Amino acid sequence: MSQPAATTRRLVVGYIATDRGRDAIALAISLARSAGIELIVTIVRPESSTFTAGNSIPQDGTGIVLQQLEDWLDEALSLVPDDVCARGVIHTSSNESKGLMEVAEAEGALGIVIGARATTLMRSFRIGTVATSLLHSSTVPVVLAPSGNSDIGPISRITTFFGARPGAAALIGAAVQSAAALDVDLRLISLIENDGLGDDDTVEIQEFAEEYGGAVLAGRAAEMLESGRAVVRSQAGADIEDAAVNVDFQPGEIAFIGSSRLGRGGLVFIGARARRLLRVLPVPVVVVPRRAISTV
């Protein structure tokens, strides 16, 4: 593993010794390589001293159990290649989601990467307890690694699903900023029942970018649209899931979705619309707070 630069950007990676943890590591490696990000691989040690066989993390911080946590952290770090900067943290907290948020705040991290549970009923994502908590309270973007499909290689494009609801400025601004930082194409898709988007919609994208990041980011959005590095599209369907399932993705692509207007400003809050998208999206998903920093 390489050493961090003086002003390194960071991502917290929530790790448990299961396939979910390995999915999170695999996706985080792709993000780190594409954006020069340091990974903070984190195992949360519960404060409770109770241990049951069903827990993925032993709930006792002493002796043999602490050694087991350290062994799992070493295992996680061994998955990170030498060209990616990473370090491990064992953090004690009342629960896993709170612990990950505490580490993210302490490290000034750009986001939190976690793995999703596998299921045959949903294509890639099943939202468990930890993910649910993060998706209703995180102050930084939450990056969901799809089960068994997280080693995506270099990031190739960002696709952002947007609407006209409050919060669109944060979502589109973060997407423009991230695509520019990664030097990848940006695709902005409105999942609605119509025949296309007009000129007013591209102007609105620039306005959203300016609301989020000022004139500089608005200018960057305009440049990307004019050069073809960013495109605005619509996708029709009988409902939002039907529209989304017909969207094609290329290797290395990630999707951005926004938080519900019902959530408090500055926090991730996944609503019914976003949950329906997660049922059908086959790529890693970044859930952006209503007021968010860039993920890269």
Domains in the chain and their CATH numbers? Answer: 9-145 (3.40.50.620), 157-288 (3.40.50.620)
CA dist 181 and 294 (Å) reads 9
CA dist 136 and 30 (Å) reads 25
pTM of the model: 0.83
The pLDDT, as a whole number, for residue 62 is: 61
Structure tokens at 281: 């999206």
CA dist 67 and 75 (Å) reads 12
- pLDDT-flagged residues of the chain (< 50): 6, 49, 51-54, 61, 120-122, 195-199, 293
- CB of 95 within 8 A of CB of 46? yes
The pLDDT, as a whole number, for residue 52 is: 47
> How do 142-145 and 157-162 pair as beta strands?
unpaired
The pLDDT, as a whole number, for residue 17 is: 92
The pLDDT, as a whole number, for residue 292 is: 52
The pLDDT, as a whole number, for residue 255 is: 96
The pLDDT, as a whole number, for residue 136 is: 84
The pLDDT, as a whole number, for residue 54 is: 47
The pLDDT, as a whole number, for residue 122 is: 44
The pLDDT, as a whole number, for residue 124 is: 54
- CB of 137 within 8 A of CB of 268? yes
